[in-house]
Amino acid sequence: MAARPGEDPTPDTESSERGTSMGAESSERGTSMGAESSERGVRGEEPVPSLAGFTVGITAARRAEELATMLERRGAVIQQGAALRIVALADDADLETTTRALIAEPPDITVATTGIGYRGWMEAADGWGIGEQLLTALGRCEMLARGPKARGAIRASGLVDAWSPESESTAEVLEHLLERGVEGSRIAMQLHGEPLPDVVEALELAGAQVVTIPVYRWAPPLDIAPLDRLIAGTLSGGIDMLAFTSAPAAAGLLARAEELGVREDLLAAMRGPVLALCVGPVTAAPLEALEVPTLQPQRSRLGAMVRTLESAAPSRARRLPVAAHELELRGHAVLVDGVLRPVPPTPMALLRVLARRPGRVVPRAELLAAQPGGAADEHAVENAIARLRQALGEPGLVQTVVRRGYRLPLEPDTGAASGPGGCCTTASWDDEGTRG
């Protein structure tokens, strides 16, 4: 697959987005959360936010705060670690030379791929004192916009766009140009941080003269520490979802992981418990090429991406009927009978081990091996279990099996208390949960 840009998702208010996709989303949420929300409503409690208990890592540099706000509004905890930064090329001599050449010989077609790139080009031209000349030259040609942000930037500059693809993809722009025929045409192609060799080659093979305009480029972040912390958190189980809004961000994350010697470990995490959330297919492409499954909205918008995650999040939780209570395991918290209870990392790691074999005894040695940081003796397990019981607020949810280990007293048939295990925490139990 040819390297292509990130989707450059269009700014949107949540209210306007809701108008386009609320029906399907409401149906999904109604199926997975309706009964639980109704029950809490009867009890007079506020519904738990859809993303509460989950930690989302944000790799974006641009619009990261906007995305974080949307996620936090739905209850998520955010960890930011920009995988790249945008470097403007306003002082680039090659860009100025290319711009003056286009003014001297205007193109027949100009393709604007991103709003920020087009605006940056206009601002750079103004700085060189040739802004009006550039607009005059572009006004004589046909303007194509890859998406709504590029279209908005063109119109804001006083020009008019002739066409924009419904998919907002560079691939559809190329298809459109090839179908209409470009032989003998001079085409100016505004880049967006990375070259487009396959696109340029296809146009040139079709007989066009292509002038590329690199108005900005991607570079590693100046402060690499937040990205390193995000990678470490992902590997330690502290991140539930990683959000990507551009293909270069995905590439930047993996490149830094390679430098740290943990690329394969990171890929394993993203193929397993960590969800890769992408704003669209272009962003997802480099991850899916490495067999990393991704979650994407139908439309490449930040709001749509967040709502898609909101609908998918319930399927990421583990639900268990334990000791007359309903447990829902989320990333860093547990819902106990619909009440959100944050759980520290070490107790949460032990709870996940117990939940993998609900109703069965898990030996202390196995729980010891699961503790982050590698505790030295089984006394650490006892301390972590005590903290887990305290965090859950219901000691009977984790039972001690004397001289053997611990278990969750699962009630798969009724979802309510059955047998003697409903509230006992220190009695002796065998592997099947009967009193010894």
- pLDDT(17) > 50: no
Paired with 329 in beta bridges are 318, 334
Supply the DSSP symbol for 193. B
- pLDDT(179) > 70: yes
- pLDDT(126) > 70: yes
pLDDT in tens, 190-221: 987 677 888 999 999 999 999 999 887 788 89
Rounded to whole angstroms, the Cα distance separating 273 from 293 reads 11
Q: Which residue has the higher pLDDT, 383 or 8?
A: 383
- pLDDT(23) > 60: no
**Contact call for residues 20 and 301 (beta carbons, < 8 A):** no
Question: What is the pLDDT averaged over residues 262-280?
Answer: 96
Question: What is the pLDDT averaged over residues 374-392?
Answer: 87
Amino acid at 193: G
% of the chain with per-residue pLDDT over 70: 82
- pLDDT(4) > 90: no
Q: Strand 77-80 to strand 55-58: parallel, antiparallel, or no bridges (unpaired)? A: parallel
% of the chain with per-residue pLDDT over 90: 65
Q: Is 262 exposed, middle or buried (0-12, 13-18, 19+ CB in 10 A)?
A: middle
Q: Are both 46-84+221-316 and 88-219 of the same fold?
A: yes
pLDDT in tens, 87-120: 777 667 888 999 999 999 999 999 999 898 899 8
The encoded tokens of residue 206 equal 């079709």
Domain 46-84+221-316: give its CATH code. Answer: 3.40.50.10090
pLDDT at 410: 85
Q: Cite the beta strand spans of 154-274 per DSSP E.
A: 161-163, 186-190, 209-213, 216-219, 241-244
- pLDDT(262) > 90: yes
Class of the domain covering 88-219:
alpha beta
- pLDDT(434) > 50: no
Rounded to whole angstroms, the Cα distance separating 61 from 57 reads 12
Query: Domains of the chain: which residue ranges?
Result: 46-84+221-316, 88-219, 318-421
- pLDDT(314) > 90: no
Q: Which residue has the higher pLDDT, 243 or 33?
A: 243
Class of the domain covering 318-421:
mainly alpha
**Contact call for residues 6 and 117 (beta carbons, < 8 A):** no
Distance of CA 49 to the CA centre of its chain: 18
Measured CA to CA in angstroms, residue 27 lies from 21, 23, 32, 320 at distances of 10, 6, 9, 24
- pLDDT(12) > 90: no
pLDDT at 61: 86
Categorize the per-residue pLDDT at 249 as very low, low, confident or very high, splitting at 50, 70 and 90. Answer: very high
pLDDT at 424: 34
**Contact call for residues 294 and 278 (beta carbons, < 8 A):** yes
- pLDDT(425) > 90: no
pLDDT at 374: 65
pLDDT in tens, 132-165: 999 999 999 999 999 888 999 999 999 999 999 9
Q: Which residue has the higher pLDDT, 166 or 255?
A: 255
Average pLDDT of the chain, as a whole number: 84
Specify the range with the lowest mean pLDDT, choosing from 8-22, 65-79, 116-130, 405-419.
8-22
Residue 219's φ and ψ, nearest 5 degrees, are -145, 160
pLDDT at 91: 62
Rounded to whole angstroms, the Cα distance separating 301 from 157 reads 23
Supply the DSSP symbol for 301. B
pLDDT in tens, 328-345: 999 999 999 999 999 999
pLDDT at 413: 56
